[in-house]
Amino acid sequence: MRNVAHMVAAGLIGLSSLAFVSCGGGGGGASVVPTPAPTNPSNVVSVIVDAGPNSNSVNTLYTTVTVCVPGGTTSCQTIDHIQVDTGSYGLRLLAPVLTLSLPVTAASDGNSLVECTQFVDGYSWGPIALADIQVGEETATSVPIQVIGGSAFAVDPNCSNKGTAEDTVAAFGANGILGIGVFEQDCGSGCAPSITVDNSANGFYYSCTTAACVGTTVALNSQVLNPIRLFTTDNDGSILVLPSVAAPGTTTLTGSLIFGIDTQSNNASGSETILAVDGIGHFTTVFNSQTLTQSFLDSGTNGIFFDYTALTLCSDPNFKGFYCPADPTSIAATLTGTNNTSITESFTVDNAQTLATNNPTFSVLPTLAGTFSTATSSNTSNTFDWGLPFYYGRRVFTAIENQRTAVDTGPYVAF
């Protein structure tokens, strides 16, 4: 079972808050290969990379989700610009966007259940509620979700010390986030009741009254859940299909999110390289004579993040943490799964400041990269974060834990 601390150390929610503010003038161009139309659209939903609800996001992938008051009601709301994140688990909505009144989940002691979602660079605080969810034509009922910023309870100090609060659309860069990673729950056994270990101080789930909040455990099926596992069919994973993008980038990009692996003709496995991941979603990246065992694919990260002293960091504070090499730099790294399967991939890193200055309308930047160390105070020397630019021009599979596909059993990623 995965380590709960992975949500902090590896940044499952991603680095979307590091999106820089584009400035200056200029032009630029891009070559985009259209995404083929799916043969069976019943398990397909459109995704888009654009400037987002704040009109300043970069390399952020969005879709549209419909949520309803549970119980087969017609009290529903369709919300666009929900970030698609293969590095986290469950649906989280921003309270200012949500107009429905959803039933709040109770903790085991009868008080309100509230969660501190820990990002790599901050946190979000809000209650757990139940909702029926529809993504495209796939549906899941009575799903525990988080309503970010929707709590009447003061943030517990054990949460607020995690960094900057990210509980508004402006801070979040999206109206919500749809976590569809390789696990079923957002925390797992580390937050669940145990007869041998006291898991109540897990740092994620709290039982709250108007007076105070205390840490609490939550049963696996009551934690915020990956909604894919609750679909009737097409519930063993997903595939992201995005067109390739020529440097320096383009304004918007559309693609497809396909639900299920080997459940229909349009999600069949083929000749992809399968990288099995460990109990916290990691594989290994060998780069610059380093073996980085905390490596992961994450569509919720807006660049490729790794530490490399040979690349110059941007001096402008608006681009803090991003690389600004004098010339585009080609880099190769080898990815190895826990199944000992390896593949070598190459990518290019360009000057983030120049990209933004010369292409102020571009929301798709395939050569954007940065250092992981400046994003968090956690130990990141062993980390390689393959963010959304890695997904451009690929068909990337995310297989959920314990689910058997035609080629292997999850958790694994493949491309």
User: Which of 301, 312, 304 is CA-nearest to residue 287?
Assistant: 304
Counting residues of the chain whose pLDDT is more than 90, the rounded percentage is 82
Per-residue pLDDT at 11: 31
Per-residue pLDDT at 322: 96
Q: Is the dihedral of CA 397, 403, 406, 411 positive or negative?
A: positive
Mean predicted confidence (pLDDT) in 57-70: 98
Task: Tell me how many degrees the CA angle 370-275-189 measures, rounded to the nearest 5.
Answer: 85
Per-residue pLDDT at 374: 53
Query: Where is pLDDT greater, at 40 or 120?
Result: 120
pLDDT in tens, 232-281: 999 999 999 999 999 999 999 999 999 999 999 999 999 999 999 999 99
Give 63's pLDDT tier (boundaries 50, 70, 90).
very high
CB-based burial label for 210 (10 Å; 0-12, 13-18, 19+): exposed
Q: Establish whether domains 6-230 and 264-414 are of one fold.
A: yes
pLDDT in tens, 168-207: 999 989 999 999 999 999 999 999 999 999 999 999 999 9
Other beta carbons within 10 angstroms of residue 309's beta carbon come to 8
Query: What are the residue boundaries of the structural domains of the chain, listed by start?
Result: 6-230, 264-414
Tokens 């569509």 found at: 299
Single-letter amino acid code for the residue at 307: D
* CATH of segment(s) 6-230: 2.40.70
| Cα–Cα dist 161/184, whole Å | 27
Give 150's pLDDT tier (boundaries 50, 70, 90).
confident
Element (H, E) at 9: helix 6-9
The pair of three-digit structure tokens given for residue 162, joined into one six-digit string: 């995690």
Return phi, psi of residue 197, to 5°.
Answer: -135, 140
Instruction: Provide the 3-class DSSP secondary structure of residue 177.
Output: strand
| Cα–Cα dist 180/408, whole Å | 18
What CATH number matches the domain at 264-414, 1.10.3470, 2.170.140, 3.40.50, 2.40.70?
2.40.70
Per-residue pLDDT at 221: 96
pLDDT in tens, 390-402: 999 999 999 999 9
Q: How many residues does the chain have?
A: 415
Mean predicted confidence (pLDDT) in 73-81: 96
| Cα–Cα dist 415/399, whole Å | 11
pLDDT of 8 over the 80 cut = no
Give 119's pLDDT tier (boundaries 50, 70, 90).
confident
Task: Tell me how many degrees the CA angle 17-205-186 measures, rounded to the nearest 5.
Answer: 60
CB-based burial label for 100 (10 Å; 0-12, 13-18, 19+): middle
Mean predicted confidence (pLDDT) in 280-308: 96
Looking at every residue in the chain, the average pLDDT score rounds to 89
Per-residue pLDDT at 380: 55
The pair of three-digit structure tokens given for residue 34, joined into one six-digit string: 């259209």
